[in-house]
Amino acid sequence: MILEIKRYPDPILRKKCEEIKEITSEIKVLIENMFETMYQNQGVGLSACQVGVPKQIAVLDVGDGPRVFINPKILKKEGEKYFEEGCLSVPGVFLKIKRAREIEVEALNEKGEKFKIKAEGLLAYCLQQEIDHLQGILIIDRASAAQKIKLRLLGKT
């Protein structure tokens, strides 16, 4: 089922999401629907709050297959790099955002199994953006002062 993507300034995008205590059949259906919604909208990542559910779930597919991250936490960050990012909740806005070049993340998969992953490149940037979403942070919050002025002039914030 395709879900409605919440768009800025919807207040749910500013909520800190709740940890998942148990992977229920409802959570599994939500994950399936999130993937379907992400693919339908040509996204590479989607967090549950973006579809109106304030739970710590992110789904990603950066070209190497679907991945699920439940209760993700960044354990390590290395280096810095600017990367142009867009967001399904802030359509039409693309910003150069400075993020860690490499990260290590711990999370649960859709079966409730804990795993760790080292990520770099697109996967690292997408993971950082989705983990931001779970904390109520959007790409416009990470924009430079000059980018924020431009966004205000364009009526995007």
CA nearest 127: which of 65, 58, 39? 58
Would you call 130 a catalytic residue per the annotation? Answer: yes
CA nearest 57: which of 72, 76, 37? 72
Residue of 4, 110, 113, 130 marked catalytic: 130
b/e per residue 14-32 (b: at least 16 CB within 10 A)? eeebeebeebeeebeebbe
Distance CA 83, CA 101 (A): 9
Task: Kindly list the catalytic residues.
Answer: 130
